[in-house]
Structures are given as C-alpha cells and as structure tokens.
Chains A and B, each alone.
Chain A
Amino acid sequence: MTMEKRTPAFEYAPAPESRAVVDIAPSYGLFIDGEFTEAADGKVFKTVSPSTEEVLSEVAEAGEADVDRAVKAARKAFEKWSALPGAERAKYLFRIARIIQERSRELAVLETLDNGKPIRETRDADLPLVAAHFFYYAGWADKLDHAGYGANPRPLGVAGQVIPWNFPLLMLAWKIAPALATGNTVVLKPAETTPLSALFFADICRQAGLPRGVVNIVTGDGRAGAALIAHPDVNKVAFTGSTAVGKEIARTVAGTRKKVTLELGGKGANIVFDDAPIDQAVEGIVNGIFFNQGQVCCAGSRLLVQESIHDELLDSLKRRLSTLRLGDPLDKNTDIGAINSAEQLARITALADRGEAEGAERWSPACELPESGYWFAPTLFTGVTQAHTVARDEIFGPVLSVLTFRTPDEAVAKANNTPYGLSAGIWTEKGSRILAVANKLRAGVIWSNTFNKFDPTSPFGGYKESGFGREGGRHGLEAYLDV
C-alpha cells in the first residue's frame, strides 16, 4: 500500500511562512460589550496547534452567566445600531472589510496555526473570501428596499450564532456580515478548538470603531453554545455544524418565536460522466475531497464515476494523488495539513477502518506522517456501494469513497439516495446534460465542471438533513430580517 519514496530530482526546499507576523497573547478573555473580560467563574481552556500539539494560548471559557451578559450587551446595543441609517452601518462594515484585507497575512498565519490547514489555503482561499463577505454585505446595508423583501424590512434583534472549526474566520464572516448589515447585533460562539481568529476579529472591530456591544464573542465549548441558543432574549439562531447537533437545536427552539437557520453535514456526490474533461475532473475530485483535509460540509466525498471509464479515471486519480504534499501547514508548498483535533482524527480513523472491514479496497499514496500532531493520509476506497458505511456516513476527513453508475438516471438516483442534500458536482462536456442532471439533483449547491467554489454573492445551503436557510447572496439577507 505505501511504497518506498526515493529522493526526487526536484526536491522543493522548505518554504515556511514566518510566524513573526502574528502576535498571539498567552491568554484571552471573552469579548463582551467592547471589552475583554475573564469568565465569571474564571474558567479557562487551552487551544493547541493541531500540527504540533503545542499550546497556542489559554482562552476564557464562557458559562451561562457570561452568555447572559453578552446577550444583554447585544440587546442594549441593538437599539442604536438598528436605528443607524443603513449607509452608516455600511461604512462600519466597509472599514472592517478593509482592515481584514490589511491584516490578511497575519490572520492567515493565525488561522493555519489554530486550525491546522495549509497556509496556501488560508492565504488564497479563506482570507480573500472573508474580506469579500464583509464587502458584499456592507453594500446591502443601505439597499434593503431593493432586496426583494418589501419596503423597509426590519432586523430581528439579537442573533445567537454558533460556528464550527473547519473555516473559523470564514464561518464568522458568513454569520456576522449579513447580521450586522441588516441591523442586528450578535453574540457569536466560535468552536472550542479554534477560538483565536474570532478574538482577533474582535480587535478588528475595535480598530474599525464599531460601537460596543454590536459584536460579542463568547469562547467556550458546546455548553456555551447550547446556553446561547436557548437564551430567551435571542431572536435569531444561526448554526453551522453537525446534523446531530442541528437536530438538537431544532428541538430546542421549537415552540419559541426564534428564527433559525442551520447549515449542517453532507455526503456530496461528485459525478463524472464518460465525456468529462478528464484532467480537469481529476483536479475537481482532488479539490473536492482533499481541500481543507476533507473537513468540509460540502465535500465531494462520494465519487460517482461512469463505469465505462472507472479504471482509466482511477489510474489518473492515483497518479495525481502521488504529487500531494502532506506536512507542516505553515510551509507554502504543503497541500495537506493536519486534522483539527485528536477527536476528529479518531472519528476519521474509525470510519476508515469500518470501510476496510466492510470490504471496500483501501488505497493511499506513499505518505510520511509527522511524529507529533494529528495526521491522516489521503485515502481512497474503491469498490464502494450505497450500502457501505463509508458511502452514507459523513467522515469529515480526507477519505474518498468511489462508486460507479451506468446511466445518467442511475447517477442521479444514487446521488440523491441520502438523507443529506448539500452539494454535488457534475463533470461532462455536454451542456444539456449539466442542466438536466442539475435539475434533478436534490442539493442546494451544484458545481458543474468545477468544485468548492464560493462567493459572497452566491447562496449556499442544503436540502433535507443538510439544513435549511441560505447564506450568501440576496437570499442570505432573509435569515436576518423580520420577513
């Protein structure tokens, strides 16, 4: 399975991005009402770098009392914030967007350290999208009359937002930008393994002169998130994370007047037809499942390849995988970084073992895993069918399950045969096939001859158990308006 790797002729020397650009303090408090403060009971927790297991910082752990204080601060700030002319709110958000751009390098290094993903991704994908999201929604703040929700649509009030660890700052942008643009104030709880970029964002709010209480960051674990969502004075709940927790939240808000949007898991089907542009399809498959180490809700984690080209495509795919570079996330040439936590690594490992146990054939390119940190080699399972666990359960790691189909009808049936419905990919040179298949796929985001493309103007969200509500675009405003 893993082959001896001889010394390559063209060996890329280490090309580390410098850590010096970011200054991580030994500890951080909660950001409530414009100030950093300790948790009421003084509790703290550590956040580590998943690639080395070194402790990066010690962060305050919010309890119920802290969540309550944050919601109160947001409520107090709401009156003035929502009364500001949209054009003024817009200018705050434009300031934030510009400062994010200025500090992009610093934030990219920080995100790579706290999350484990390669610097090339934080630098070229995450950070540009973060800035773009703030730019886009800044422009809506004074144009809500034109958004298609009637004249003068009003905000909801205080939004409680809980985000995951896979794209910490980007998920923060997806939540905070539209909420603020429409006149709401927020309390946001970042994931417990990736609190730092949200805390740096708080500093950016300070630099932008954002009024106190408009944005509050409460760091902590699942209990702080639950407290926030259940808080009676929160008008709007927004959650991105696992389907299991999403269902819990839906139960929690039942019977209340809280508006809720959920962006949950997926088991995206990447469908490759026999007339696909093969070299680009291979890139799309690789991007679909190995971008961000596969820790993406919309990952193309199922490859559905037309049976007639299965062998040829797999040969090309395996050849391509042997050029993937796994290692230090701060090295600019790294393609595959660390898994975010020991828990996640254990989950991926268990599911991959299950894949083997159920009879699928497992393959990885030759890959040296570093001694410390949480690492998983890119992995393919071929001979997978719908009944396999690795075809149904979201693994949230760099593991691709390969299934085959005979006809377009069958591809659609298999792609749709899942409780999830977040994303899908279609690879074919034939335009009418793209449109016919896209019409039939029950998924909220469909990529044709591309994958994992995001833009603040483009609505994102799922069907079925992948959640409901859309983020991005004009559609993304609805979640934060009283309409």
Chain B
Amino acid sequence: MSDRLNVLKTYKLYVGGKFPRSESGRVYEVTDAKKNWLANAPLSSRKDARDAVVAARKAFGGWAGATAYNRGQILYRVAEMLEGRRDQYVREVAEAEGLSKSKAGDQVDAAIDRWVWYAGWTDKIAQVVGGGNPVAGPFFNLSSPEPTGVVAVLAPQESSFLGLVSVVAPVIATGNTAVVVASEKSPLPALSLGEVLATSDLPGGVVNILSGRTAEIAAPLAAHQDVNAIDLAGADEALAKELEIAAADNLKRVLRPQPVDNWAATPGTDRMTAFLETKTVWHPTGSLGASGSAY
C-alpha cells in the first residue's frame, strides 16, 4: 500500500536489434478497453518501414545460414525469456484486450508454448516437406525447402499477443526475417515482445516491430521491391485486396487473411510452408566404369 509513483515505460520500435523512436517523431494514443490512456506508441512512417526492411535484409544471410539446430535453440530461448516475464505480459495483454487476468494468462501460456512448438520445427520441416525424388534416370535428385527472404507480417488486429506470436514465429523458424506491423489499436504487447527477443540471442534485424496505422505502413511494405513475401493477417478485406495488387509488382508470395476462431489451437505447417521455396537439385550418379556393373 505505497504512495510510490511508478515509472511509465516509453514504448519504442524494435528495429535492427535496437529500440529507436519513429523517425517521424510522431506518436499516437493507445487506450485500454475502457478508453483509459495506456501509453503513446510510435506512429511509424514509410521511412521506418524502409529502415526495417534494410535491417531485415541485412540479417537474412546470417539467420538463413545458421543451422536449424541453432535457430531452434534461439526460439526455445525466447520461450524461456517469455516464461520468466509471464506476469508482465499477462498484465499487458489484460490491459490491451480488456481480458481478465485468468484469460490473459491462458493467452500468454499459449504464446509461450507456441514458441516451443516452432522451436521444435526448425530441424524437422525439411524432413517433412523435402526429400529425394526417384527420377527415371541415373540422377540423384533432391528437393529441399529454403526460406524466401524478408517477409512483411501484418499481425492480427484483435489477438495482440498470441495472434502476433502465431504469425511471427513460423516465419523466422525456417530462416526468414520479418518486418512486423503490430495491431493498430493494441500495439503495446508487440512492442514489448522486442524486449524478450533482444535478450534471447536472436540476432538484430531478424524480427523488426513497427507500430502505427496499419494501412499507412503496410502500403510501402506491400510495394517494396526488396520484400519477398507478405502475410496479410492484420488487413481487412478492402486493404488486403489493395495490398495484394501492390505485392504483384515483384510477385511477392502472399498469404491472404484467414479467419481464426481460436489462436490457441495447434497450428499446422502451412504458416511455415507459405514462406518456403523448394529447390530441386539434379546430379548425375554416373556409372562405376566402362565394364558396366553387375551389382
């Protein structure tokens, strides 16, 4: 029962492993379900989006080139760090979405378990979607999945944390890097996620988190020639169509918005395969020698 004044958090973007303000210097008010002021969040501009893409591209070579085992270790570390801060996120999610502590707790627990789910996929997805192909000739033929590159992710508008984690983790598990646009009305849990990512040995730039008006930042991302794919989960129908048209300019891989009743349900593999390319390599097996082989 203290009269102590608490220290309010200044919410920043998470780009390139650092926590900058928006280059525009703008912020916008974020309120809880009862319209009480929670914080001012950065109102990102297209230049922030541009810088985030640069950071994501820079991080891609190292992240895609890391072993699957190493990526799995890091994603598991994210789960460890998040578990340690469970109370913080329960409070943030409860405030952001107007949930009871108990319901918010379920969301955060599911989010932690979601990181563990994807941590266990990094070194298995290739075995499930790749394989040798028995071509009709003396060739060794192998199909392997590879990450597509930089993925723009519009996080779900309603599920500000579990939904966010459910769209971000599958993108990076396979080696892609991400530019994430947080829920417009509930961006704070997403911005706080940056704190966990920054302390999990995740290389800077693998995940970049922007807050602001979804339509404003999504447009330059959808049109950006150095973005390889876009997840439209956080776009409404009209915006989604606009963005898909813009994405066609460099033939981005587009994941259209799908209604999700229950983000806690066990996901399949489609959020990973949506951002994987399949590379098929041929190599002649030759024969053993001129005499021909009897074996």
Contacts and interface: CB of A to CB of B under 8 A. Distances in A.
Interface stretch (A62-70, A86-94, A165-173, A381-389): A86-94
Interface string B112-138: 010011011111100110000000000
A95 to B, nearest CB: 10
A413 B289 CA distance: 13
A435 B289 contact: no
A440 B288 contact: yes
B116 A91 contact: yes
A431 B113 CA distance: 43
Contacts of A435: 140, 283-286
Interface stretch (A135-143, A154-162, A220-228, A252-260): A135-143
B60 interface: no
A474 B113 CA distance: 22
B2 interface: no
A356 interface: no
B120 A142 contact: yes
B102 interface: no
Contacts of B291: 407, 409
B119 A139 contact: yes
A170 B25 CA distance: 56
Contact of B289 (A87, A147, A409, A473): A409
A49 B127 CA distance: 41
Given A412-B293, A474-B127, A436 B269 contact: no
A132 B295 contact: no
A473 B285 contact: no
Contacts of A408: 288-289
B11 to A, nearest CB: 31
B72 interface: yes
B258 interface: no
Given A409-B289, A432-B284, A142 B269 contact: no
Interface in B272-289: 283-289
A319 interface: no
B161 interface: no
Given A87-B113, A132-B69, A474-B128, A436 B287 contact: yes
Contacts of B286: 430, 432-433, 435-436
Contacts of B72: 135, 139
B285 A87 contact: no
B12 to A, nearest CB: 31
Given A142-B120, A473-B127, A416 B295 contact: yes
Contacts of A80: none
B295 A412 contact: yes
A437 interface: yes
Contact of A90 (B116, B127, B128, B140): B116
A148 interface: yes
Contacts of A148: 128
A35 to B, nearest CB: 29
A436 B116 CA distance: 41
B258 to A, nearest CB: 20
Interface string A114-158: 000000000000000000100110111111001110000000000
B127 A457 contact: yes
B73 interface: yes
B10 interface: no
A322 interface: no
Contacts of A90: 116, 120
Contacts of A98: 76
A139 B295 contact: no
Given A135-B76, A436-B288, 11 more contacts: A94-B76, A94-B116, A136-B123, A143-B120, A146-B269, A148-B128, A409-B289, A432-B286, A436-B287, A440-B293, A456-B123
Interface of A: 87, 90-91, 94, 98, 132, 135-136, 138-143, 146-148, 407-409, 412-413, 416, 430-433, 435-437, 439-440, 456-457, 473-474
Which 5 pairs between the two chains have the least Cβ-Cβ distance? Answer: A139-B120, A432-B286, A435-B285, A436-B286, A408-B288
5 contacts: A135-B73, A139-B72, A143-B124, A413-B295, A430-B286
